[in-house]
């Protein structure tokens, strides 16, 4: 599987892709550039949706528009007026360098998003939150360093989560009716399996396998979370592969974001596709992007 270039854009920190099946478009963000973009398949000229400072992710919203995570808060973004409306109170305002990072919605429409230490020291001072449909925000995990990828199994009984510096993909028992998670365990260990880079964003396919982007590894890998076995590897022509998401009419196209941030100019010159949005036929259907129901 060889990824193709999906967009003409080259961004600083591409992240947070989500597929809107109704509109048949992909939303993705540039965190450093503070921008939300929309990509239409087979059109490389992606459009700027809105400027949002430190935007970590953007997901479709059932009532229309998007839900986004930005700096210390979660917001609704109106696609017509471009207005940002707070969905809940701000968090961690006493930690100026902290910001929200990746986020996704579960099959019940809850918005899950985590924070990270924005300083180069990267200390475990972030957290993982869930925003219920009634706009109640709950802290689920503490002592997080860089909150990243998440996903749910096809039977909705398992939730996956990544705190990147741990170099592990965790799994939890998951209750769809309540959103409760428990029994944390490791399903993929990058150190133990001698993988390049750190796990970043991820996606889950219809067979229950997980796809993980390697930050600093220039690839996306497919794993069996039940056995910890590596199943497939997609080499990406950008070292900082940051996240992935299934899209397309049949949900069999894997979109991959990447980043240019912090890369030596000589490496950028040798790898001009760094910071691009890629797409590849995955050979398997993925699970749909869930929308925020609130």
| 294 within domain boundaries | no
Q: Which residues neighbour 265 within 8 Å (Cβ) at sequence distance 6 or greater?
A: none
Percent of the chain with pLDDT strictly greater than 70: 100
Confidence of residue 120 (pLDDT cuts 50, 70, 90): confident
Q: Which of 165, 111, 117 is nearest to 289 (CA)?
A: 111
Residue 204 has pLDDT above 90, yes or no: yes
Phi, psi at residue 270, to the nearest 5°? -80, -25
- The pLDDT assigned to 161 comes to 98
pLDDT tens digits, 10-44: 999 999 999 999 999 999 999 999 999 999 999 99
**Residue 290 is assigned to a structural domain of this protein:** no
When pLDDT is averaged across residues 275-286 and rounded to a whole number, the result is 97
Q: How far is CA 266 from CA 5, 273, 274, 277, in A?
A: 21, 13, 12, 21
Q: Is residue 29 part of a domain?
A: yes
Count CA atoms closer than 13 A to 47's CA, side-chain side: 8
Give per-residue burial for 119-144: e unless 16+ CB within 10 Å, then b.
eeeeeebbbbbbbbeeeebeebbeeb
Domain assignment present for residue 276? The answer is yes
What pLDDT is recorded for position 80? 94
Cβ-contact 278, 8 below 8 angstroms: no
Q: Give the domain CATH number at 144.
A: 2.120.10.30
- Three-state DSSP class for residue 226: coil
Residue in 30, 117, 163, 200 annotated catalytic: 200
Alpha-carbon Rg for the chain in angstroms: 17
Residue 287 lies in a domain: no
Token pair, residue 3, equals 């990824």
Contact 151, 121 (CB under 8 A): no
270 Cβ partners below 8 Å, 6+ apart?
A: none
d(CA 184, CA 181): 8
Range of the domain at 99: 4-281
In a domain, 292, yes or no: no
The average pLDDT across 49-54 equals 96
Question: Is 291 within a domain?
Answer: no
Average model confidence (pLDDT) across the chain: 96
Active site residue 264: no
Residue 150 · residue 144 · CB < 8 Å: no
pLDDT band at 292 (very low <50, low <70, confident <90, very high): very high
pLDDT above 90 for 264: no
Whether 143 is covered by a domain: the verdict is: yes
Q: How many domains does the chain have?
A: 1
């Amino acid at each position: 599987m060889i990824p193709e270039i999906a967009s003409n854009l080259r961004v600083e920190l591409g992240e947070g892709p989500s597929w809107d099946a109704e509109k048949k478009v992909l939303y993705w963000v540039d965190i450093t550039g503070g921008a939300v973009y929309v990509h239409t398949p087979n059109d490389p000229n992606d459009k700027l949706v809105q400027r949002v400072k430190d935007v970590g992710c953007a997901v479709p919203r059932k009532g229309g528009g998007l839900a986004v995570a930005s700096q210390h808060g979660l917001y609704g973004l109106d696609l017509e007026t471009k207005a940002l409306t707070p969905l809940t109170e701000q968090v961690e305002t006493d930690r100026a360098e902290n910001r929200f990072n990746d986020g996704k919605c579960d099959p019940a429409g809850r918005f899950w998003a985590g924070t990270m230490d924005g300083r180069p020291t990267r200390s475990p001072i972030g957290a993982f939150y869930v925003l219920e449909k009634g706009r109640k925000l709950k802290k689920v995990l503490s002592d997080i360093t860089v909150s990243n990828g998440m996903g749910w199994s096809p039977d909705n009984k398992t939730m996956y989560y990544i705190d990147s510096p741990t170099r592990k993909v965790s799994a939890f028992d998951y209750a769809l009716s309540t959103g409760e998670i428990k029994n944390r365990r490791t399903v993929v260990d990058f150190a133990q399996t001698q993988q390049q880079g750190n796990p970043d964003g991820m996606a889950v396919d219809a067979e229950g396998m997980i796809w993980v982007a390697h930050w600093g590894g220039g690839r996306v890998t497919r794993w069996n979370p039940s056995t910890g076995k590596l199943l497939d590897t997609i080499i990406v022509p950008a070292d900082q592969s940051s996240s992935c998401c299934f899209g397309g009419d049949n949900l069999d196209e894997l979109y991959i974001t990447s980043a240019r941030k912090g890369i030596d100019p000589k490496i950028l010159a040798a790898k001009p596709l760094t910071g691009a949005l890629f797409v590849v036929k995955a050979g398997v259907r993925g699970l749909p992007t869930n929308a925020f129901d609130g």
